[in-house]
Amino acid sequence: KPTRSSSVHEYQIGCVEACLRLTLSPCVFTLKLQPCDPAPGLGLLRTEVPARSKGKVSPTETKSNTKREIEVEVPPEEVARETEALIQKYQKVARLPGFRRGHVPPSIIRQRFAADIKNDVVDALVPRYFRKETDKLGLIPVSQPRVTDLHVHEGEPLRFKASFEVMPTIRPEGYKELRADKPAVSVTDEEVEESLNSVREQHAAFTSVEGRPLAEGDFAQVSLDGQPKDGEGQPVHMDDILVEIGGKNTMPEFNENLRGVSAGEERSFDVNYPADSADKRLAGKTFKYTVKVLSIKQKSLPELNDQFAKELGEFANLDEVRHRIREGMEEERKHAAEHEAKDKLVAELVKRNDFEVPEALVERQIDLRLERGLRALAAQGMRPEDIKKMDFNRLRAGQRDQALQEVKASLLLDKIAEEEKIDVSDQEIDREVEALAKQSKQTSEAIRARLTRDGALDRIRNRIRNEKTLDFLYHQSA
């Protein structure tokens, strides 16, 4: 049974997944009805006249490329047929004094449950005939239809108006003339050596030091507790971590307060974190730390020689390691340059094609951007109560321009894919499913079943199609 409020009737209507390129979930419309004041009951008409509907597009169609309003009329015979069917259902379950269950006369049912039957008739017929009219008119709703002017009177047609948004008519222009800069990618010997030294650092060994306090370059093995001084924010607790004394990534307060401390000793001090700190739990806050030095360690690095290369795995010598590092860096930079070029192509494509976008799609994209941002904040440790204090109206306004560009880009890419006959094969879907299965350590069958159940396979297909369309634009822009 649909949910109902005192002033607005709401109905769930499934729709075609026209917006799946933009969202992570299928479109579901909530049909909002502003009720009029119909007659107190619905008459029961016994007739077998075939049902038919009459729909027409109102003048609002000419004022917007994305907004539509239709008037729908349901014949009285269909209203009567639905009413009779509902009365029969009520008869089967109604419990009234003086009557056995299932034996309450239809006239009593009609009298006692007039308001409920009327609402149920509307619940059944409005969504059904809304879908009929949009299908007949070739309209694809992408927003929540708002139903007004609901007219329900005994012996008369059921009438209502529904206003909603549809996909705009798009004819991509200028995409075959797009040009992208493709800078040459290079990696210097110095960059390769720097990366090799990072690998060397990852294989460092740490040995304990006895009989002296911490000095510059040492590593303190510590346990620490940090409490926000203003009481706002989450405490920090860590066991068995290494702090490099004088290290470039070590906070100055840790260097100053731990230098000269011996194993087994404890220090307390304040740390002021800058507002732009990468860890949002700490940004702009002052924490009081209690740090206990468990031991003192010295780092020793392996020699850069062929033996080190062999210990890394499938390498015969150090030159092979350098070659692999160079290849990886070149591939990474090539990918980054290609990504930047594609971003510029999309921006230019949107700039060349100005068209109206359904507000519902923009709002949906804002929702997605905010959802991703909030998930990132939560992953960084921001507390739910702090997230709730955020100004969401301001956040939504700040996301609007980018969301609009993303919606336009997605609609344009989809249309270009149609014109260029770019499609996605079942084998490409299979490869994506297998990759997800490997990543999540589940079987391909289990992943496919879940994706099918959630309606996500079509979204994966649309994402791959958009990626292929972007590749097409990138390569034809050479």
Q: What is the pLDDT of residues 38-71, one digit of tens each?
A: 333 333 322 233 334 444 444 444 457 899 999 9
- What's the pLDDT at 459? 87
Mark whether 129 and 17 lie in a shared domain.
yes
Report which DSSP code applies to 211: S
CA 415/CA 371 separation, integer angstroms: 27
The backbone torsions φ and ψ at residue 161, rounded to the nearest 5 degrees and listed phi first, read -115, 145
Question: What's the CA angle centered on 78, arms 74 and 81, to 5 degrees?
Answer: 155
Pairwise pLDDT comparison (331 vs 96), residue with the higher score:
331
Mark whether 212 and 185 lie in a shared domain.
no
- What's the pLDDT at 63? 59
Range 181-187 average pLDDT:
87
pLDDT tens sequence across 132-176: 999 999 998 999 899 999 998 888 999 999 999 999 889 999 999
Mark whether 192 and 234 lie in a shared domain.
no
Answer whether residue 436 is part of any domain.
yes
Please state which of the ranges 84-93, 149-158, 326-335 shows the lowest mean pLDDT: 84-93
Q: Work out the burial of residue 201: count CB atoms within 10 Å of its CB; fewer than 13 is exposed, 13-18 middle, 19 or more buried.
A: exposed
Q: Return the structure tokens found at 156.
A: 């008369």
Q: Return the structure tokens found at 169.
A: 């008519």
- What's the pLDDT at 283? 84
Q: Which residue has the tokens 């392996």?
A: 302
pLDDT tens sequence across 431-470: 999 999 999 999 999 999 999 998 889 889 999 999 999 9
pLDDT tens sequence across 334-383: 999 999 999 999 999 999 999 999 999 999 999 999 999 999 888 877 88
Mark whether 255 and 135 lie in a shared domain.
no
Radius of gyration of the chain (CA): 33
4 strand-pairing partners: 9
State how far the alpha carbon of 278 is from the alpha carbons of 71, 230, 284, in Å: 55, 20, 11
Distance of CA 424 to the CA centre of its chain: 22
Mark whether 290 and 216 lie in a shared domain.
yes
pLDDT at 310 over 60: yes
Mark whether 391 and 424 lie in a shared domain.
no
The amino acid at residue 75 is P
Angle between helices 189-202 and 318-352 (to 10 degrees): 110
Q: Return the structure tokens found at 46.
A: 């016994």
- What's the pLDDT at 184? 86
- What's the pLDDT at 377? 86
By C-alpha distance, which of 156, 157, 158 is closest to 127?
A: 158
Mark whether 310 and 211 lie in a shared domain.
no
Answer whether residue 2 is part of any domain.
no
Determine the structural domain holding residue 372 and report its residue range: 355-407
Answer whether residue 170 is part of any domain.
no
- What's the pLDDT at 233? 74
pLDDT tens sequence across 221-244: 999 999 998 877 788 899 999 999
- Tell me the CATH number at 18: 3.30.70.1050
Mean per-residue pLDDT of the chain:
84
CB-based contact 53:72 (threshold 8 Å)? yes
Answer whether residue 171 is part of any domain.
no
Share of the chain above pLDDT 90, in %: 65
Answer whether residue 258 is part of any domain.
yes
Mark whether 119 and 108 lie in a shared domain.
yes
pLDDT at 37 over 80: no
Range 328-337 average pLDDT:
95
Pairwise pLDDT comparison (123 vs 232), residue with the higher score:
123
Mark whether 398 and 428 lie in a shared domain.
no
Residue after which a domain boundary falls, among 352, 372, 389? 352
Residue after which a domain boundary falls, among 137, 165, 193? 165
Mark whether 277 and 329 lie in a shared domain.
no
